Amino acid sequence: MAPDNTSENTPGAAILHHLAEKGWTQLDLAQMLDRPVQAINEIVKGKKSITPETAVELATAFKTTRDYWLNLESQYRLSLITSADEEAIMRRVRLFEIAPVKEMQRRGWIRATTTLEELERELCRFFGVENLGQEPQISVATKRPISTDPLTAAQRAWCFRARELAGAVHAEKFRPELLLHCKERLRQLAAYPDETRNVATVLAGFGIRFVVVETMSGTGSKIDGAAFWLAPDKPVIAMSLRFDRIDAFWFTLFHECSHIENGDASVDSELVGDAAMPTVAKPDIERRADEDAANILIPADKLQSFIIRVGPLYSQARINQFAHRMKIHPGIIVGQLHHRGEVKWDAHRKVLAKVRSIVTEVALTDGYGKAVSVDLH
């Protein structure tokens, strides 16, 4: 049904008013404007909009201004937008504020939908909430609040996907008193890149679920790792492996192990790399996690002694000798020297072995060419 454009203060009513003043008919106006009379009638009834060209023609015929007709048309069209239309737009805006919908659909995290209601249901399912007015909570069982700045939509989605995958991972009963043994066992793997394939199995044996989720694209998506809890006795470590380097892998892993050991929940970005925040500038629990990770990899006194003896002339031979003595991969030594500013970021890059493909052979992984179907609902 066409809108009524002949009520007061509408383009149609204005045209009829001016025709009556002039004593003209719609046929007369059509002939003056060199248009079919049907076109004039459709404008009067609101079936056709007044374009800028039509506004100029009407202004000329009725000796008004073109802005008069354009303003009438604009106000009339705005009046046709109902509160239901505005509510639907607001609902869609909320969905795109809370989640990167298109990429989540592309990666199969939520189904492609045809209606707003279906999309809302999919996001409620994914985030585990009854409605999207609630703020989704990543770690409902954590002993402490999430330690991070507010998450972006991409980071939040990443965390919830990690949580979803973690629910499908089998792990032994978690016993906090065995965490030191867990870290010692993991540390024994740090000498050779191939040993990273055993990390997921070792963690599961000590009750910690381990998953890998590739970061999402676009700005605001950077994330290195996270520690959270499915339940008080079900800790999770999730990593993105966005830096395919042995030093980044082990530092991030032990950073998250520290959070689990201390009952934290944390989402960590820029832990490694040349954009990493200096440890001294971080909040207390993040500084503690950094220090714990660095110390279990290379005890601080041992590393400091090496720096005093060798720096600033860090030859590859001296690094290899120190790595052999510490029973650790030389790439991890280089990573620590990078982090301390002892060597430039482009130094000794060849020794930073790639481990991503090794880790993802065993760990439950979403991304990097691996598609995972996990339905926990």
Whether 376 maps to a domain, the answer reads: no
Whether 225 maps to a domain, the answer reads: yes
Q: Is 55 exposed, middle or buried (0-12, 13-18, 19+ CB in 10 A)?
A: buried
Domain that holds residue 338: 146-366
In one letter, which amino acid is 47? Answer: K
Alpha helices in 191-275 (DSSP H): 199-205, 246-261
Is the same domain home to 95 and 169?
A: no
Element housing 325 (H / E): helix 316-326
Q: What is the distance between the alpha carbons of residues 166 and 208, in angstroms, rounded to a whole number?
A: 10
Is the same domain home to 158 and 278?
A: yes
pLDDT of residue 166: 95
Is the same domain home to 354 and 254?
A: yes
Residues 276, 270 contacting (CB under 8 angstroms): yes
Is the same domain home to 153 and 93?
A: no
Q: What is the distance between the alpha carbons of residues 212 and 218, in angstroms, rounded to a whole number?
A: 19
Is the same domain home to 19 and 106?
A: no
**Residues 6 or more apart in contact with residue 296 via CB below 8 angstroms:** 183, 187, 254
377 residues of the chain, pLDDT tens digit each: 445 565 557 899 999 999 999 999 999 999 999 999 999 999 999 889 999 999 999 999 999 999 999 999 998 888 877 666 778 888 888 888 889 999 999 999 999 998 989 999 999 999 988 888 877 777 644 444 454 457 888 999 999 999 999 999 999 999 999 999 999 999 999 999 999 999 999 999 999 999 999 999 887 788 999 999 999 999 999 999 999 999 999 999 999 999 999 998 888 888 887 777 777 778 888 999 999 999 999 999 999 999 999 988 899 999 999 999 999 999 999 999 998 889 888 888 899 999 999 999 999 999 999 887 755 44
Residues 108, 122 contacting (CB under 8 angstroms): no
Number of domains in the chain: 3
pLDDT of residue 277: 75
CATH of the domain at 39: 1.10.260.40
Long-range contacts formed by 185-188: CB under 8 A, 24+ apart = 186/253, 186/254, 186/257, 187/296, 187/297, 188/327
Whether 224 maps to a domain, the answer reads: yes
Whether 137 maps to a domain, the answer reads: no
pLDDT of residue 375: 57
Q: What is the distance between the alpha carbons of residues 190 and 233, in angstroms, rounded to a whole number?
A: 27
Helix (H, G, I), strand (E, B) or coil at 117: helix
pLDDT of residue 324: 96
Is the same domain home to 183 and 325?
A: yes
Q: Is 161 exposed, middle or buried (0-12, 13-18, 19+ CB in 10 A)?
A: buried
Could you give the maximum distance between any two Cα atoms of the chain, in Å?
105
Among residues 54, 79, 104, the one where a domain terminates is 79
* 3-class DSSP string for 343-361: CCCCCCHHHCCCCHHHHHH
Whether 374 maps to a domain, the answer reads: no
Is the same domain home to 160 and 100?
A: no
Is the same domain home to 193 and 108?
A: no
Whether 375 maps to a domain, the answer reads: no
Is the same domain home to 40 and 184?
A: no
Q: What is the distance between the alpha carbons of residues 249 and 245, in angstroms, rounded to a whole number?
A: 6
Q: What is the distance between the alpha carbons of residues 36 and 268, in angstroms, rounded to a whole number?
A: 67
Is the same domain home to 332 and 200?
A: yes
Instruction: Quickly list DSSP for 176-236.
Output: GGGHHHHHHHHHTTTT-GGGGGGHHHHHHHTT-EEEEEPPPSSTT----EEEEEEETTEEE
Is the same domain home to 121 and 257?
A: no
**Residues 6 or more apart in contact with residue 100 via CB below 8 angstroms:** 153, 154, 157, 216, 218
**Residues 6 or more apart in contact with residue 369 via CB below 8 angstroms:** none
Is the same domain home to 96 and 73?
A: no
List, in sequence order, every residue forming a beta bridge with 234; answer none if it has no partner.
231
Whether 302 maps to a domain, the answer reads: yes
Nearest to 133 by CA among 124, 146, 142: 124
Whether 139 maps to a domain, the answer reads: no
